[in-house]
Amino acid sequence: MPGRGTSRPGTGPGESRTGRDATGTGRGARGRRDRGARSVDPRVGSRGRQRLEVLLFTGPALVLFALFVVWPIAKALQFSVYRWKGFGPLTDFVGLRNYGNVLQNEVFTGALVHNLVIVVASIAIQLPLGIAIALLLNRKMWGQGLLRTVVFVPYVLSEVITGVVWFQLLQPQYGVVDTLLAAVGLDGPAEGWLGTPDRALLTVLVVLTWKYLGLAVILFLAGLQGVPDELFEAAEIDGASWGQIQRRITLPLLGPTLRTWAFLSMIGSLQLFDMVWILTGGGPANSTTTMATFLVNEGTKRQNYGVAAAASVVLFVVALVLALTYQRFVLRRDLDTDGGRR
Amino acid sequence: MTATTERRGAPTRPPGRPASDTRGTRTASRRRRSGGGTPLVYALALVVVAVTLGPVVYGVLGGFRTNAQLAESPAALPNPWVMSNYTGVLTNPAFWRYALNSTVIALLTTALVVVLGMMAAYPLARYRFKGREQLFLVFVMGLLFPVTVAIIPLFILVTRDLHLGNTWWGVALPQAAFALPMTVVILRPFLQAIPDELEEAALLDGATRVGFFWRVLVPLSGPGMVTVGVLAFVGSWNAYLLPLLLLQEKTKTLPLGVADFSSQYASDTAGVFAFTTLAMVPALVFFLAMQKRIVGGLQGAVKG
């Protein structure tokens, strides 16, 4: 980040007074330049003292981060090449065999496919719906503020609460969803929406949409606030219709928000655990397993720590590859323009 | 859906009204830009509200019914209204224990995140030293690591090595650690935006840089700290996976309690509705009060 001079040619503390005076009196372009090129930093006592302060300030955070983030991740890497049931020393080195097991395990590859389906479907469903609702709520209307609050409510509830409530609503026969369907002459599946293997994933997707659509709407609404009014005025003077304005101006200018939201949604979909665990536990017949439910299952229920660790590494690599690809091809323009502004 | 909205929406702007009429005020132009509320717009908004709130309201009302009522006509209103489900939960000591655990863990997490995050962001924002950007990058990299990836070793570390399984700290510490990257990423630009002149003035007046941090920067950073604090609180309050592995019996949090209750009394639908409703009330009240902050934090996160 080029903003504040990152490289500071070392200078003695004695000169600092001059440096400060220059900055204090300099105005406009001169002041700016002085600030950027300020080779003498009045704020630093000695280098040793500065180093001590940096250490004291960042130290606690770094220790916590190293202990609870870096170390466990390094451990996961280590576990992934051992056969380990969770007790005794790590002795049974198996190389990449756990990875082989994971990648050949149909439950895991199925989980990977489910995760990817959820990634694509979440974006494909929530993006158009989110934009439509954001445009709707962006119109001046009575109760607008209340509406925006309401839309956000599902996002505020925990996934567990959402899952438990929806589980009850989706109960076969006597759940309210089936009752409402019956009222219009439709029958729910006999085993229930969550009990039928070829419907369960779709049902999970519906619940996920309910829970996370509000986040998309709120973010898109915020993006809409950032679009300058002048553009709309100009377009209107030129005789553009509401629809044309949305297509030609709003959507393109909303681009960065949409792309960043899609990125967050993607990462979240890959890590999906809570909702699935509550709604289906990965079933029926593994039709809704995700990589996260797979690895928790392997680790806690079967004590296959090596396999679980390998699965978690695969999950991370998939997320990383997807994130980097996305950044390379989609996010890059946003980052570029951002860098230019700074 | 979009298409109809657009087409119907277009004529709502009176074509006769000249643009220059309202050009003067900003609010007026905003109103024009956003279109107005036609009956169709209100109808669509109602659908959105119904779909969004429907399940929540159904759950709340369900708590006022008996299981017999629920089985007989699942879509009806409570008749008569039954209080016993709610009073049952409110007199259940386990519920209050879950709530207490959730509160304490969320507060610990929030305090850790805000204090350590502010401290870490300060030099990263306002000091110039070799390796500053690299140090910042360490935190940015942390964004890439979900708790899921590290969950098994984390479980072993907390329970076996640190003997913090079943304790408030055992959950708060890792949660804070995983929330730190986002916190630092949000706070750094915030601290950078505070004018240099203030710092120079403070130093001229004889303050040390540490003194500047405590006396000027921390008071000025209130909004930023509230944002990251609320985000940390939300994350901790709603967390499931980590507490699921680390907490048992007396230390369980509300999400664990809800999950337990719903599987233990699966057939008592009305009871489950009452339990989940009461479990969501404190969160809803707190989060709706803080809504602006949560949204602000998310926007900050999106702008990254």
Q: How far apart are CA B81 and CA B90, in angstroms?
A: 17
Please check whether residues B209 and B156 belong to one and the same domain.
yes
Decide if A261 and B287 are in contact by the 8 Å CB cutoff.
no
Indicate whether B28 pLDDT > 60: no
Tell me the per-residue pLDDT of A122-154, one tens digit each, with 9 for 90 and over.
Answer: 999 999 999 999 988 888 888 888 888 889 889
For the stretch B148-165, pLDDT in tens is 888 889 998 998 899 998
Q: How far is CA B92 from the centre of its chain?
A: 27
What pLDDT band is residue B300 in, cutting at 50, 70 and 90? low
Q: How many helices (H) and strands (E) does chain B have?
A: 17, 0
Which structural domain, as residue segments, surrounds residue B64? 39-82
Q: Is residue B218 in a domain? A: yes
Lowest mean pLDDT across A94-103, A251-260, B105-114? A251-260
Check whether B304 has a pLDDT greater than 80.
no
Is B23 a domain residue?
Answer: no
With an 8 Å Cβ cutoff, are A72 and B116 in contact?
Answer: no
- A25-29, A243-247, B103-107: which is most confident: B103-107
CATH of the domain at B149: 1.10.3720.10
Residue B90 lies in a domain: no
Same domain, B163 and B299: yes
The mean predicted confidence, pLDDT, of chain B is: 83
What residues of chain A lie within 8 A of the CB of B77, using their CB? none
Gap between the terminal Cα atoms of chain B = 32
Q: Let me know if residue B271 belongs to a domain.
A: no
> What is the spatial distance between Cα A31 and Cα A25, in angstroms, rounded to a whole number?
8
Whole-complex ipTM: 0.81
Q: Which pLDDT score, from 0 to 100, does residue B236 have? A: 92
The domain total for chain B is 2
pLDDT score recorded for residue B146: 81
Q: Are residues B139 and B115 in the same domain?
A: yes
User: Residue A47: which pLDDT band, with cuts at 50, 70 and 90?
Assistant: confident
Confidence (pLDDT) at A333:
65
Residue B272: list chain A partners with CB under 8 A: 164, 168
Mean pLDDT throughout A208-232?
Answer: 87
pLDDT in tens, B40-91: 889 999 999 999 999 999 999 999 999 888 888 888 888 889 999 999 999 9
Three-state SS at B247: coil
pLDDT confidence of A254, banded at 50, 70, 90?
confident
Instruction: Please report whether residue B72 resides in a domain.
Output: yes
Q: Higher-confidence residue: B43 or B3?
A: B43
Question: CA-to-CA distance for B300 and B218, rounded, in angstroms?
Answer: 19
Do B51 and B120 belong to one domain? no
Residue B298 and residue B213 share a domain:
yes
Q: Is residue B16 part of a domain?
A: no
Among partner residues A23, A229, A243, which is closest to B30 by beta-carbon distance?
Answer: A229
Residues B68 and B194 in one domain: no
> What pTM does this model have?
0.81
* Percent share of chain B, pLDDT over 70: 84
**Is B14 part of a structural domain of the chain?**
no
A208 or B214: which carries more pLDDT confidence?
Answer: A208
> In 3D, which of B232, B241, B235, B234 has the Cα closest to residue B151?
B241
B47 with B155, same domain?
no
Contact call for A61 and B146, based on CB within 8 A: no
Q: Which residue has better confidence, A50 or B87?
A: B87
* The token pair that represents A79 in the structure block: 């576990």
Residues of A in contact with B116 (CB under 8 A): 60-61, 64
Residues 6+ apart with CB under 8 A from A186: none
Question: What is the predicted pLDDT for the residue at A41?
Answer: 52
> In this complex, do A176 and B129 lie within 8 Å of one another by their Cβ atoms?
no
Please, what is the average pLDDT of chain A? 81
Q: Answer whether A312 sits within 8 Å of B298, measured CB to CB.
A: no
Q: Give yes or no for residue A240 having a pLDDT over 70.
A: yes
The predicted model gives B139-146 an average pLDDT of: 82
Which pLDDT score, from 0 to 100, does residue A122 have? 95
| Alpha carbons within 13 A on the beta-carbon side of A150 | 21
Instruction: Write down the residue that tokens 């993607």 correspond to.
Output: A266
**Is B10 among the domain residues?**
no
Q: Which residues pair with A93 in a beta bridge?
A: A82
Q: Are residues B44 and B145 in the same domain?
A: no
The mean pLDDT value for A327-333 works out to: 77
